[in-house]
Structure 1
Amino acid sequence: MMRRLRVFKALLTAVPFFVAYAAAAAPVQRVIALAPNLTELAYAAGLGPQMVAASDYADYPPGAEKLERVASWQGINLERIVALKPDLVLAWRGGNPQRSLDQLQSLGVPVITLDPQSVEQVAAALDQLAGYSAQPETGHRAAQQLRTERAALQRQYARATPLPVLLQFGTRPLFTASGKTLQSEILTLCGAQNLFAQSPVPWPQVSREQVLMRRPAAIVTPGDQAAQRAVAAWWQPQLSVPVIALNSDWFSRAGPRIMLAARQLCPQLAALPAPSSSARNDR
């Protein structure tokens, strides 16, 4: 494996457009994204025509599912990425193995790492990627639309007393999200309060007892109606509150469609009555 990589490195040194980092943004011709949300960001930034490969589960927008797969939960295919001669690779900081990314950079492949954790960071990523598109206005327009919609939702759905809500991801184990996540920000935009916003870790594992002590007025979970029913049944008979299931791709991926999840969530939370007493935050 290492011998083949050394051969690739020797070949790449003769190709002038391969640089370790893109020092200044300029339109590119061949782009690879190593996570589904990065594929969505690339397309939204106007880089769709330049996409040559992506990761497993990159299925949006239409056409992305036809891209060659060079990454999965098991890792990334270094040799194939190098063979495709990208002049920009979009990597997921914390999701793609750093050693593999370092190897790509050592071979002269330009890599940008992204891991947006807020709506503003998603917008900033779009602005950044717009610089690599032949039509940068596409990405800048998408970024501005995100910022405008975030402000509008904040105004429309603000509550004097935020609704205490549990963000639930899975049951075995039961884990949630802290206030340092994009998903928690969406709750806030919709006038809710994340029960575990003060958790020191981004994705804490919690117990039933910890949740019950905080008396949630609702539960928000990614998934379909089957997931909604499963979560509701899992809490019976101890807790009987509305369970709101959101489109998994919209809510779980840190990309432009996060605002679709917000538009799906906000009206449902707004229809719920104000809590009789505030839930307690995790301290």
Structure 2
Amino acid sequence: MLKILSKLALLFAFIPLHSQADAERIIALSPHAVEMLYAIGAGSRIVATTDHADYPEQAKLIPRIGGYYGIQMERVLELKPDLIVTWDGGNRAEDLEMLKKFGFKVFSSDPKTLDAVAQELLVLGELTGTQDTARQVAATYRADLATLRLANRSKPKVRLFYQLWSQPLMTVGKGSWIEQIIEVCNGENLFVDASGDYPQVSFEAVLLQKPDVILRSQDEGNIHGIDWQQWPEVPAVARGHIYDLDADLLHRAGPRTTEAVNVLCNALDKARVPPLPVQ
């Protein structure tokens, strides 16, 4: 450990002090930060990112310097970024602390609400000198979100179960990112009052609740973890209202969030259509 720290200190000694100018060399330590930076016209300045940053297509070409398991500090020092966009929810606390100790300019991007996405776009615009584009993107996002809220608020409630993961069986609770999207679509999350944002629930509890819709994040392990067709007494199964949704689109707090809201709302709309009479 001492050898690693000594090497890092040696590399750090050759890094020039950062100016207050617009960020030109950016390390984005989350997929959602990468999406935001591309949306405001600063994506080409990203010199490194973490695993799973795959949107837009150009993002797949950005060098990777780590993931949830940690950041390669030596690579950070070698790249000499003048801005590092971190993520408290996806980066190790000890890595974030080390970045600050080294004196890098750090912005923590961790929007907790749908509305906070627009504000973070504006902040990143200020940091990168892309204020005009950021204001346009933020305004479009806010307008689209307002339109979706208005269009769905008077629709009939739909009782749903959101299958976040199959083994163990996990769902989403009050305050979670997905629950906020469900609320826009006027869905009724059957486990909204469960303890925690992402509670573990029993399979029997889901069967007893008899959801009209089952939504699943579109991960292979999640989809194949439970065969709901074995329980045709569940309305969602009997009526064919089980929908697999793009996990990356739905779970990332970024400018595509309004697309995610629209996808989930469309799934609930299918369940709102009265079933055809039996011939």
CA deviation vs aligned residue, 1:33-81 (integer Å, no higher than 9, x gap)? 1111111112113211211111112111121111111122321111101
Measured on the aligned residues, the alpha-carbon RMSD in Å equals 2.3
Q: 1:231 to 1:157 in 2, by over 3 A?
A: farther
CA deviation vs aligned residue, 1:97-156 (integer Å, no higher than 9, x gap)? 111111111111111112212211111111111102232111221112121111111111
Work out whether residues 156 and 272 of structure 2, in 8 Å CA contact, stay in contact via their aligned partners in 1.
Answer: no
SS in 1 for 2:35: helix
Q: Which residue of 2 aligns with 1:151?
A: 146
Work out whether residues 165 and 222 of structure 2, in 8 Å CA contact, stay in contact via their aligned partners in 1.
Answer: no
Q: Which residue of 2 aligns with 1:243?
A: 242
* TM-score, normalised via structure 1 length: 0.86
- Identical aligned pairs, as a percentage? 31
Q: Is 1:233 aligned to 2:234, yes or no?
A: no
**Residues 96-175 of structure 1 aligned to structure 2 (within 5 Å):** 96-159=91-154, 161-175=156-170
Q: Following TM superposition, by how much is the alpha carbon of 1:90 offset from its aligned partner in structure 2, in angstroms? A: 0.9
CA deviation vs aligned residue, 1:220-275 (integer Å, no higher than 9, x gap)? 11217x78964772462153401111122211222111221222221231232389
The alignment covers a number of residue pairs equal to: 266
Work out whether residues 216 and 223 of structure 2, in 8 Å CA contact, stay in contact via their aligned partners in 1.
Answer: no
Larger CA deviation: 27-36 vs 44-53 = 44-53
Q: 1:113 to 1:229 in 2, by over 3 A?
A: closer
The list of structure 1 runs, each at least 4 consecutive aligned residues, that deviate by more than 6 angstroms after superposition, is 226-229
Aligned equivalents of 1:156, 1:98: Cα separation in 2 = 40
Q: Which residue of 2 aligns with 1:43?
A: 38
* TM-score, normalised via structure 2 length: 0.87
SS in 2 for 1:151: helix
SS in 1 for 2:37: helix
**Residues 10-29 of structure 1 aligned to structure 2 (within 5 Å):** 10-12=13-15, 15-17=16-18, 27-29=22-24
SS in 1 for 2:23: coil
Structure 1: gaps (5+ residues): 276-283
Structure 2: gaps (5+ residues): 275-279
SS in 1 for 2:64: strand
Q: Which residue of 2 aligns with 1:76?
A: 71
SS in 2 for 1:170: coil
Which amino acid in structure 2 is aligned with residue 119 of structure 1? L
Q: Which residue of 1 aligns with 2:277?
A: none
CA deviation vs aligned residue, 1:9-35 (integer Å, no higher than 9, x gap)? 3333xx1216xxx7xxx5211001111
Aligned equivalents of 1:77, 1:229: Cα separation in 2 = 33
SS in 2 for 1:131: helix
Aligned equivalents of 2:230, 2:138: Cα separation in 1 = 42
SS in 1 for 2:145: helix
